[in-house]
Each structure stands twice: as structure tokens, then as C-alpha cells.
Structure 1
Amino acid sequence: MSKIMPLSGFPEWLPAQRIVEQRFLERIQRTFELYGFASLDTRAVEPLDQLLRKGETSKEVYVLRRLQADPNDASDASLGLHFDLTVPFARFVLENAGKLHFPFRRYQIQKVWRGERPAAGRYREFIQADIDIVDRDTLPAHYEAELPLVIGDALAGLPVPKATILVNNRKVLQGFYTGAGIEDAEAVMRVLDKLDKIGPAGVTAELAALGVAESQAKLCLALAEISAHDASFVDEVGKLGVSDPLLEEGLAELAAVVEAANEHSPGLCRAELKIARGLDYYTGTVYETQLAGLERYGSLCSGGRYDNLAESGNDRFPGVGLSIGVSRLLGALFGENAVTASRSVPTVVVVAVAAEEDRRAADRIAATLRSRGIATEVSPNAAKFGKQIRFAERRGIPYVWFPGQDGAGDTVKDIRSGDQVEAAAGQWNPPSSDLHPAVEGTFN
């Protein structure tokens, strides 16, 4: 048999890590629902022409082909696995607009597939948790201020470092560049989006290649340096001496986002005017999220306002959305050994077996405990009790149940403390903290 080799970019968590993932997903889902988002689960494949609407290249899409496909039938080649959840959601809205009530708030937690080079925190198969709000024809800007609050609450309930959502507004960039006399604002935006990678000198050189004057490039870099946790960035932009109606509109919308976040959770959002987000379809607020101490993993939750993604003919559904890269977040935490589960199985108690002829009695005890919501296993063999205790201990199971012998009552032992007490399967309850594995993290 050939040696088994892992596939790069396709994470498979160990049982304790999987428990952590499940707890994270439960918390995220619960928070989304507290804010009134309804759940969707869309198909895994989309037509290629739809997938490429966001500006990605075909190299990033896994094309779907049947193993036994007819070589003369190219229909399957026009389908690809979705690499995010926004494009499928936009398609879903267009197809089901007559059945939905607007504004429509939805969340999706699904796997996606992306054909990129695997690296730390970057995978080819991963879970995303998305929220979006769409409306028909127009979408009020206050939704752009609401979404960071949802994400802030979701992350605040998890054992992760402090989150800071960095926000900007594409109208600020578009209006500023136009006001500075730059003709191709979109091209400049793409260059500035690479500032952290290529530095000011690299940005200046690329802008010069686009025909941007040195004085204009200095203004662009000065704008990119502005950062604030409050609305003071508006005055800082004003000092640069550039004016444009779109710029003023964007500054007002951005200030509303930062101020709402500060009222809800001080320090949650920071205006960062160098953020452009490279995707072509953003038209308003854009978001990137950093976790303190994990900045090298990049943004773990991103998104923005889009006005033109979900449109067909006269039908137009502007939206705003944010996506938590759940697998990326977990990969970063696991890589830092920063989070784990208190045990690798959901089991609360193991019922010991004194002899194989007693197994059916042990099964009945386990069934009674399970009927009361207590996760229970029966010992796999009738070994010495010390070995059965070690079996539980190795897996982090906190209790071992000993059926009574010769008319004696049952007892249950907390193998952590050594305390052993009499108990009846129909009445005994462990502490609520032991009912489910706890997620333990450095950042609790």
C-alpha cells in the first residue's frame, strides 16, 4: 500500500479540534439569529459566468466535471464549485425575489472551495459564516453600521483575542481621488490596496506608471495614513484640501459606522483609510478584521457594501455583507495552540463493566442516563477497574459509573477529584459545566 499523504489546503481537525469548531459555529449561528438573520443553504455549484462576476480569475475556481462524462457534452465544464457565499446568495435572491420579504436578512454557514496556493490560514476547502442584508432598489446606509455590531458580538463570545474591525468607504476613496484630479480612480484604488505589501515607494512607482503626478501620489499616501477610532478622521481628511460631493457622502457614512460601533462596543471599529478591498463590486463601506496578536494571518472577517451584484434587467437588490473565515480563524488559533476542548469526546460518564455477563445491566444504566440527556458510554471491556478509569481519563471523560454488586447501590466517581458517591441513574445529574466539553483558550 502506498504511503498516505495529506492533501495540502484541505484541513481535517482532530476530535478535540472538531469540538472547538462546533462550539464556534454554534455561537456564531446563535448570534446571527439573535439579530434576526434567517438561514440559507445554497447549492455547491454555480455557472462559471456567475462565479466570475466578482472579478476572480478562472484559475481560482474548481471546475466541475463528471468522471464518466460524455466527451461530446461540455455542459458540466460550465459549472464550478462556489468559492464564496455572496455570489450564490445574489443568484438566490434574483431567482426567489417574489417569495422573499425585503429587507431580507440571511446567514449562511457552509463550505467553499478556492483554488489558491495553500499557506498559513489559507485553505482550498474551508468554512465561511456569512451575513448579508439586501433590499429592493435601495438599501439604507444604517445597515452598514449594524453589521459590525453583529460580528463584534459573535467574536466577543468566543475565546479569541480582541477583534478590531477596520473600516473604510469606497466613496471616500473614489471621491478623494476624483477631487485630486485623478482620472482612473479605480486603478489607483487597486494600487493603494497593495500598500502593506509593496510599501509607499512601490505604490508611488506604480502610480507614476499610471500617469499619476507626484503631488497626487503624495495626497493618496497621506489619505492612506489616516486612522482613527472616532470621527476625528473627517477633520484629518479635510486638512488635505481635497473636496468632492462623493467624498463628503462617504465620510458621513463612514463616521456613522464608527460612531455606532463606539456606542455599542468602544474600540470595536477603527477607520482605516488605506483599506480598499480589491474586489470590484464594493461600492460603500468595506470591512477587514484583525485579532490582536494574530495580525500576521491577515483579515479573518471581511466584506462590504455592494449595489450592483444582485441585478438583472430592471431588478436590483443592493446589499451589504460580512463573512467570518471560520476555518482560517480556527487554523490560526490551532497553530498558536491557543484553544482546545476540555475533552476529545462528548461523553460525560463511562459505565464500568465488572464482568462480561454484566454488560446488559450496564447497557440499561447507560440508556437511562442518555434518556436524561447525559452522554454515556459503556466500557469497551471488563478489565480491571483501574484500566477502565484510565480509559476514561485518557479521553478526558470526567466520571466513571460503578454498578452495585450483591445488592449494593450504584456509585459514580469523579476521577478528577477522586470523590465517589452513591447514585441512581434515574436521578443523578453532573454539574452543568460537565454536561458538554468546554472550549478552553488562552484568550478566555
Structure 2
Amino acid sequence: MIKFLIPFFIVLYGSQSTVNAQTNSDIDTSCPPKTVFELFKKKDSILVVKPIKNSFLLVIPIIGVQPATGFSYGATGQYTFKGKGASDKYSSANLGVTFTTKKQMLINVKNNVLLKNNKIYLRGDYRLYIFTQPNYGLGTNIIPKNRDDSDFDIESIKEPMDYNYFKFHQTASWEIKKDFYVGGGVEIDWYSTIIDKNLDVENGKFTNHYNYSIQNGFNDKEYFVNGLSVNFIYDSRDNQINTRKGWFANVNYRFNGDLFNDQKASNVLNTEVRYFVPLDPKKEQFILGFWAFGQFVTNGTVPYLNLPALGWDQRSRSGEGYTQGLFRGNSLAYLQVELRFPITCNQLLSGTVFTNYTSASNKYDNIGLLQYVQPAFGFGLRLLIDKATRTNLVFDYAIGNQSKGFYLNAGETF
């Protein structure tokens, strides 16, 4: 699947707070002075005073074309802000609204907010989808290992589905030690008006979704997954918008109850680690980043559409090179490695090369996690649109096994 996203215009707004002192040593002297995109005005004095921006609003109207949605249009906005304290870190909140010619509506709201001098950490993911998305079965063995296998057509395993999806995931965590947070959250998922287009029970034509639902006692037209979670976070990143150094780790253990008809009790473990290494202590713009996460149904069963799946992380950024939901399973593991580097001295333009690997299990066919791994690789450009928050406009192109994609986003992939 190839997706094209075209921004018509960008709306920028920033507010400033108290002044900060910067020394001339903060400037990258490896670039000729005339080409430096001056973050600070160069003067003969030892100290230079420059206002620091506390907030930044980015709005991007978007046009898109892809097989699952047809022609799509809408807008996405990201608000980045921080408190007035010198040690306060930037927070972000995102809102996206998209409509399509297939009568779809996608509303996304995300938040990663630090309050009270970084003492309270809020993370949220809310969605309301009137949606169409094909399913392809369970496990990563659904695509042959050999990318050049001319006999395989990914369209041959596609199972189109329409459904409505409401998601409300919100956690709140409190700092108990520097950069370490403990808390809990509410997790609600509701799938309704499910139409399995390839399903024809009367003529004996079944789908992966239908077989899984019947085998595990779920209504194949509607189901809920509601629960509470315990949350553990470690976050030493210097900037969550565009990290140059530090760690982020999150462990979320979810307890789903059988509160309504056809619900099943289950437990789901979500783990995530991000690590950023500056390759040159004097030039922190050269960064090697690692992103790994795992999702595991540890007890009970969850409905088919709620199984761990590629591209359904908080910001839907995982798995570039593959369509969202292509790989799904009882357990899923993901790794991405990315090299970030400046292209121009003023960092107005930078680049990245990356690779990612996905594995999903299928216990019904005795396919274990890591038994089949699907790789992808790609490259991208970054356009700096706010130097204080280090917000970039992201253009990525990625190629996977029998799949490829073009992506445009606000903010780094991870």
C-alpha cells in the first residue's frame, strides 16, 4: 500500500516565556557562520539573551489516497508546551480528523503530558473510527520469507472488513523517584457494526475473524474489551518531541473483566523501550535510536480485532513499509533502529535511514513468536519547523516484504 499525504499549509503559533542565557559555545562551530540557522544571535559578549518558546501549535491539512480508504482529506494538529520551570520538559497533545470517499471518519486524540514540574505523567489514546480495514490472518508467516516470490499476491489473503471503533485509553502516573513513575489507567475498546465482507456462512465461506470469534465464544458482530491497568514509566529523555539522548521505558499490565455479555476475562502485557545514543558528544544531532515493544495476551482471550497488531501503537507509527494491521497475533514483538543525521549546517533539513522487524505468533497453527520475522527498511527527510521544541515535519519512504509505503507526519516516528 502506498499512501500520499500532501500538506496545503502549516499554521504555526508560539508563545514565549522568560529569557534564558546561552553561551557562544552552544553554537555548532563546524558550520560556516553565514550558513548557520542562528538559534542564538552571535555577539561579542560572553552571554547572549534569547527568549525561550513555551508553546508551539502546528496544524497540517492533509490529502491522502490509499486502497483501504480511497481519497481522504482532513487535518492534524499538534500542540507542544511546557511549564515555566527551567527543568520542565515539553509535553504534547495531538488531534487529527480525517474523512474519506468510502464514508469513513477517523478522529484521533493523543496526549503525552507532564505536569507539576514533571511530577505527574499523563498518557492517553482516544479514537472514534467509522472504519474499513482488511485483515490478513494471524502470524507473520502469512507472507513468504522470500520477497521476490512472484507466485504470491498479498491481495489473495486480504479479507475486507467494515466496523466502528471507539477507544479510550488513559493512564496517570506519579513520580516516585527522579524520572520513574508509577500509576494506573482505564482501558476501553468497543468494536461495533462489524461487517465481514468475505463471510458467506451459507455457502461455507469463512474468514479468519469469523473462525476466531466462534472458536473463542465472541459475537462476530460486536464486542467490548474493558479493563484497568497498572502502569510503570521511566523517562530520562531530554525532549520527547525530538529526542537526542536518554531512555524511555513503559510497562503496562491490563486486567480485562467480563462485565457484559460475550466478554471474556483476560490479561494483556504491553512493554516498550526507546533508547537514544548521540554518536558524537560534540554533535548530538547524529543519533542512533532504538525502539522495541512487545504485546502479549498472558491470560484468557481477547477478540480478534483487539489482538496485538502492527501499527496500532499510541501514535500508529510502527511498521513503516507495511499496512496497518497486516501482522496480528496472540503475541507481537517489534524492533526499529534509526540513524538520524543533519543534512544542512543549520539543521533546517536532516535525514534518517532505518530498518524495522516484526514478529507475531499464531497459537492455533503452532507458530511461535520470532519463528517468522518480517523486515523492512527505509529512509526519510526531516524539515525543521520549530527550533525551540525541535519539531520536524517528517517524510518517510519504506519497503517491506511484498509491501511499501510513503508517510508524512508531524514529529519523529519515535
TM-score range, shorter chain: under 0.3
Report which of the two structures shows the higher radius of gyration computed on alpha carbons.
1
The structure in which a higher percent of residues are strand is 2
The structure in which a higher percent of residues are helix is 1
TM-score scaled by length of structure 2: 0.23
Relative contact order: is structure 1 or structure 2 higher (C-alpha 8 Å, sep ≥ 6)? 1
